[in-house]
Structures are given as C-alpha cells and as structure tokens.
Structure 1
Amino acid sequence: MRGRTSHRLRVCDSAVMLIVMAGLPGTGKSAVAERLGRALPATVVSVDPVEAAMLRAGVDRGQPTGLAAYLVAEAVADGVLALGQTAIIDAVNAVDAARRQWRPLAERHGVQAAFIEVVCSDERVHRRRLEGRSRGISGFEEPTWEAVQRRRAEYEPWGEPRLVLDATEDLAANVTRARAYLAEESPARSTR
C-alpha cells in the first residue's frame, strides 16, 4: 500500500487528469477529444469502438452493450491512469449515472476529473454533421437523426461543474478553450 500512496502523489504532481467528454452523437466531442489527446498528450478511450468490438465478437445486440462498453472504457482508463498518464473518455455520458462513474475512478488514482460537454447550438448544422459523417468503425452503425433526438429527450441535466463548448465555433478555438480550462483545473497548477 505504501507504493500506491507515493504513486498517487507523483501522479498529482505531474498534472495527470481524467478528462471526461460528453455530448450527443455528432456534436463534435470526438474531434475535440482527439485534438486534445494529441496536444496534451493523453490517451483517448472512446466508447463507440469498444461497443463495436463487442458486437463484432458476437455479443448479441439485445444485450446491454452500451453499459458494458462504458465499463470496459473505465477499465482501460484505469490502466492508463495507473501508468501515470492522462486519459480522455470519449462518450455521450447522457445520464447522471454514467457521469458519476468517472469521479471515483479519478479519486482512486488521486487525480483531478474534468468534464467537458460539447453541444451544437444550431440544429441544422448538428443534423448535417451527423448525417454526413462516416467514422469507419467496423460493425458500428452511425446513429440516425431520429435516434439522436430520442437521446436528447433522455439527456439528464448536469450536476457536475463542466466546460461547455459549442461545435458551431471553430474546432481550434474550442480546443484552445478546453486546454485553458484544463490548465485551471489541473492540480499541479491550482492552489486547492
């Protein structure tokens, strides 16, 4: 246990974080996550490819693959944080239960959790982006606009502090805002 405590101090001192992305499909959260991953650097753990891999492996679509994908992403991020590296979770995180799962993971590693929600304030732009994208995730069907609207109806209000980025803004500007927010939240730079 003694080695675990010194590891936690080292992780905090080096500003390792758990960054949790959230937002409806097609809002641009994956683009922000990927750019942040390159810039920081950080490992991006995306839920959609995890779920697609489960489906390709033969897990029945009637099973709760979405929940399972979140748990697998949590396990992968746990390993990344254990190595003393920043992890970025790329997931819709539409409900409070999904969002709450990340805080204990950060606490186990003694690192800060920072939440970034990506929205698209222009519905026409959002729909055009969603319907025009093809991420090439084998075995994963892109959601329809109707499916996104159902997700929107289920989207729960936030209780966590977070940065909200609007995808109608320039991607580079949003990444700059995210980096500034993360610098403020970083335990190595804060006075908390």
Structure 2
Amino acid sequence: MLIATAGLPGAGKSSIAEGLGRQLGAPVVSVDPIEAAMWRAGVARSQPTGLAAYVVAEAVADGVLALGQTVIVDAVNAVEEARAQWRSLASRRGVPVVFIEVVCSDPAVHCRRLEGRSREIDGFYEPTWEVVERRQEEFAPWVDDRLVLDSVIDLSQNIATALGFLTAGS
C-alpha cells in the first residue's frame, strides 16, 4: 500500500508518518530531506527543487512498492498535481493509495511548533508562520477520500486512529 501524508508545514505530518512507519515496519520517504540534499549537492535554490524532490520521492517509493512493501510518503501534497502523482504511482503498481491529512486546529499551537522546531535537516530552512499562512491559501480542495487527523490530539491516539483506518480499508 502507498500511504501519502498531507498537510501544512509544522502540522505534525512527519510525526504521524514516522509513528506509522515504526508500527508498520514501513519506510518513510520524506520530501524535505531530499530537497535539502539537492541544495547541498549544489543545485541552486532558484531551481524547481521542490518539484524535483517530489519526483525523486516518487522514484524511491516506486522502488519500495516494487519489492512488495508498504511505503509512507511524507510531503505537504497541497496541490492536486501532487496528489495525482501518488494515485498514478499506486495505480501503476496495483496497490491502494491512502491519504492521511494532518491538521493542527489550534493556530497558536501550530505557530509555536514552527517557531520551536529544528528537525536537523542539514541545509533546510524551516518555514515561517507567514509562509505557512500563504501555503494554506494555496491548499487545493480535496477530491480524494482521506483520513483527517488533528495533531492537537495525542500522537499515540492519532497513530492508533490511523492504524485502525488503514486496517479497515484493506
């Protein structure tokens, strides 16, 4: 199965993806470290490295699916083109795709998380609250069925909810 997380930066996607990865024994392919690696390799930030990181993540996820394993993609997936990319990959591999959108219903908590987070991704600049607010305006409406998790709820409870959703859907 292909599990694709979605949500604004700092909403809690990576925590959900990592927790699910541990529980399922599934690799997590995260777009942000891929993009940061491109910058460290000398690709200019003025280049479309965000798009390129999604393409690289797709190639890595494709390789995992080819082995018959579940893979979790950790990415914002704000636009329909990104979501269509994961649907297409799942279709090509003949596996289900499950979207999990992670939101943070408390803007003050979300802002504090952004201000205090350091994921230690070499060369990656964490977005500001202003950037996140702009991204929220660009977030495309959903056409897919998805599980929505609110990260103000305890992480272990959200992981349990996601596992239940994944089990019910398979």
Q: TM-score, normalised by structure 2?
A: 0.99
Asked whether the equivalents of residues 112 and 185 of structure 1 are also in contact (C-alpha less than 8 Å), the reply is no
Q: Can you list the C-alpha shifts for 1:145-175, whole angstroms capped at 9, x where unaligned?
A: 1111110111111110000000110000000
Q: Distance in 2 between matches of 1:56 and 1:115?
A: 30
Give the structure 2 partner of residue 133 of structure 1.
117
Give the structure 2 partner of residue 29 of structure 1.
13
Give the structure 2 partner of residue 110 of structure 1.
94
Q: Which of these two proteins has the greater Rg computed from alpha carbons?
A: 1
Q: Distance in 1 between matches of 2:106 and 2:150?
A: 9
How much identity, in percent, do the aligned residues show? Answer: 68
Q: Distance in 2 between matches of 1:23 and 1:155?
A: 9
Following superposition, the deviation at residue 91 of structure 1 comes to: 0.1
| Structure 2 unaligned spans of 5+ | none
| Structure 1 unaligned spans of 5+ | 1-16, 187-192
Task: Tell me whether 1:45 sits opposite 2:36 in the alignment.
Answer: no
Aligned-residue CA RMSD in angstroms?
A: 0.5
Following superposition, the deviation at residue 185 of structure 1 comes to: 1.6
Q: How does 1:1-192 map to 2 (within 5 A)?
A: 17-186=1-170
Structure 1 runs (4+) deviating above 6 angstroms are none
Q: Distance in 1 between matches of 2:25 and 2:138?
A: 33
Following superposition, the deviation at residue 95 of structure 1 comes to: 0.6
Q: TM-score, normalised by structure 1?
A: 0.88
